Each structure stands twice: as C-alpha cells, then as structure tokens.
Amino acid sequence: MKENFFVKAVKKYNSTSLVLRILCGLIIGSILGLALPGIGWIGMLGDLFVGSLKAIAPLLVAVLVISSLSQGNAKLDRRFGLILFLYMISTFLAAVVAVVGSFIFPQTLTLKEVATADTVPTGIGEVLGNLFTNMISNPFGSLVEGKYIGILFWAVVLGIAFKSIASDSTKRMFTDISDGVSKAVRWIINLAPFGILGLVYSNVSSNGLAIFTDYGKLLALLVGCMLAVAFIVDPLIAGLSMKRNPYPLVWRCLKESGLTAFFTRSSAANIPVNMQLCERLGLDKDMYSVSIPLGATINMDGAAITITVMTLAAANTVGVQVDILSAIVLSVLATLGACGASGVAGGSLLLIPMACSMFGIPQDVAMQVVGIGFIIGVVQDSVETALNSAGDVMFAATAEYTQWIKEGKPLPEFMGRKK
C-alpha cells in the first residue's frame, strides 16, 4: 500500500507542470520562512540544488559543444552572427536605459563602511585581459572553476579536432556521453521545486524587509530599469528582428528561465535550464549548445544596468557633473565591462570602481558603493540574473525564428500567426 501511494505520488508530481510545482515551492518556502525560521536542513535544499546545477553545468556545456562540432553538423552560420549582435545591442541599450533612468531619477548614497576586495579591475583593458586569459586557461581548471569562456574555447578546439580525426565510434561515444549528462540534468531540474523552496526559505528567514527601507529608491531605480529592458527594450529588439509579436516568446522565457534564475541567482547554474527550454522551443541543438553558455558570459543586460546606475549614483554623491557625451561613453564602457563580468572575481559589482575611475571618483568611495551593492544584492542580483538568463534564450530563439520566417518555415504554435 505504501509503495503504491509513493509511486502514485511520484507520477502525479512528474505529470504536474514544472512552473506550477516551482510556484508551490515558492509559496511553501515563504510560509515556512515566516513561521519557522532557523531550520537549517530546509535551507540546505536550496544549497544542494544550486550546487548541483553549478557542478554539472560546466560538464554539460563541454560535452554538448564537443559532441555537436565533432559530428560535423554544427552550422554556426548567419544565425549565430545575429545572436551575437542581439546580445551586444541589448546590453548596450540596457546601459542607455540606466543612464536615462539615472538622469530622470538621480540617486545619492549614504556612504558608511568601506568594502574590500582582493581583485578590482582598474580599467577596461584589464577586464578584457582577464577575459582573454580565462579563454586560454587550463581546460580542466576551467571545468572545475566554472570559467565558461575557457570551457567554450577548448570545447570548440577539441570539437573541431575530433571532427577531422575521430572515428564514427568515437563520435558516437561523445553523443552517448552528451545524452547521459543531459539526462542527469533533467533529473536535477525535476527537483527544482524543492530547491526553490529551500532558497526562498533562507531568504525570507534571514533578510527581512530592512533592505527596502534603507536603499528603497536606489533599488527601485535598478529594478525599474531592468523591468523596462525586459518588457520594452528586449521585446522591441526581438520584434523588429522577427517582424512578429515577440511577447509570447518573452513570457515563455521569463516564466521558464527567468523564474528559476531569479532564485538561483546564477546564470551558470541556469545554463542547464536554458538548454532544456531551447530544446522545447525546437531550436537547433548545434546552435544553442554554443550560444547559451556564450550568452551567460556576454549577454549581461542586468550587469550593464547595475554598473551604470551605481556609478552615476556615486558621481552624484561626490558632486561630479556628468554630461551626455560622458554618459554615452559610460554606456559603452559598461557594455564592454559587463561582457567581461564573469571573468572578474565578484562579478558586475567589482566593475563599479573601474567605471567610477572614468569620473575621477576615489577608489575608497567606489568600494563603499560596491558594499552597498552587496547589501541590496538580495533583490538586485536576483532580478539581474533573471533578466540576463531569460534574454539568453529569447535572443537565441529570435535569431533562429528569424531564419525560419525567411525560409517560410512555420513558427511554433505558441508564437501565433502573423496578422
């Protein structure tokens, strides 16, 4: 009887929509966090979930790229070029939105404790240098440390090498390994509701609402800019490319990618989620196996917004007047810096001093701004990651669907028909 009940419960669980299960985990985690704070094993569910995704994501990226390229099916054609363009133009426009928002709603900061960091880039040259250094880093070290530029670089090199010399049985082995790792990823993602429950429980138990009272206006500006990009700028870019209503795709990506990214707060951890979503959207595996991990590195709308808003807030605080031309240069700097954020310890926040140096803001002041960034990061980083991760899939799909439209191939049913 017990076994039958257990089997029925598992079948019911698996047959229920993953998004619905995640929402249930969110609600239960919030209730438990308010009613029973401090229960360590509940919060550990979230740590186990994020840790599992972070651990397997580098391996998944490596085997997918090697397998795709070694088969000789990879066609990184104009679709891939369009994906790169969409990633970069979106990140730049996100920085522009942050500039406009900061001019309309200028922010000043109350600087308190000085933040410290071991590695803070001093210029865009150092950021790009870190990026290229990571590209040629030891491939095994890149796998262990989750350096996706290095993983991508060596996976492409090895994939092309195996394409020319490997036997059919070797190529088949890579395919089997890729399928096996993908299967393991599906098992982990199927347990996402329990992970989300643990993550929400930990946040609700420990953070409370003080963050909204101390830095509410700054947080509202950051989140407002990110929402404007998510619901206006990015859909406009996608719509102009496809010449179709982009919102069915926007909502799908936000619901199935952005939701999990919001709670995991890690673009790297969300790569397996995005890979599965691309598969459900009918995209070419040879394309998204490269573009999704690349997007997690260079499609950084949220990071560009964070760098720009926090830098302009620092400038207002110390009395630096920023003109339009300087703001445009800052947008370009934030775009390039955001693309290299994953190659710098601390991510986008530790790129703020680099941007502040453009206006002559002292390093100790800039690092206090970084400290404030860590305080509001509970919300800011969650929204930033959701925006970035959902955009990775949306622009990959946009490039592919644009090609389908040109070839007269019908789009998936959820996209509707052209009016």
Q: What is the pLDDT of residue 130?
A: 60
Q: What is the pLDDT of residue 214?
A: 57
Count how many domains the chain has.
1
**What does pLDDT average to in each consecutive run of 10 residues of the chain (419 residues)?**
67 76 81 80 82 77 75 64 90 93 86 47 55 76 75 80 76 80 79 81 65 73 94 94 91 90 78 89 85 82 90 86 82 76 54 76 77 74 88 93 88 70
- Tokens 């985990």 found at: 25
Buried b / exposed e across 21-37, counting CB within 10 Å, b at 16+?
A: bbeebbebbeebbeeee
* C-alpha separations of 25 from 48, 198, 388 in Å: 15, 8, 23
Sequence-ordered list of residues with C-beta below 8 angstroms from that of 43, at least 6 positions apart, any chain: 198, 199, 201, 202, 205
Question: In sequence order, which ranges of 166-270 are alpha helices (DSSP H)?
Answer: 168-190, 192-206, 210-214, 216-228, 234-242, 247-253, 259-264
Q: What is the pLDDT of residue 392?
A: 92
Cβ-contact 148, 295 below 8 angstroms? no
Q: What is the pLDDT of residue 98?
A: 94
The CATH number that applies at residue 50 is: 1.10.3860.10
Q: What is the pLDDT of residue 189?
A: 76
Range of the domain at 279: 2-415
Cβ-contact 387, 296 below 8 angstroms? no
Q: DSSP label at 122?
A: -
Cβ-contact 380, 390 below 8 angstroms? no
Q: What is the pLDDT of residue 368?
A: 78
Q: What is the pLDDT of residue 128?
A: 59
Q: What is the pLDDT of residue 125?
A: 60
Q: What is the pLDDT of residue 113?
A: 46
Q: What is the pLDDT of residue 345?
A: 38
What is the signed CA dihedral for 301, 81, 138, 354, rounded to 10 degrees?
A: -30
Distance of CA 259 to the CA centre of its chain: 11
- Tokens 């939105």 found at: 97
- Spatial distance between the Cα atoms of 54 and 184, rounded to a whole number of angstroms: 13
- Spatial distance between the Cα atoms of 159 and 153, rounded to a whole number of angstroms: 10
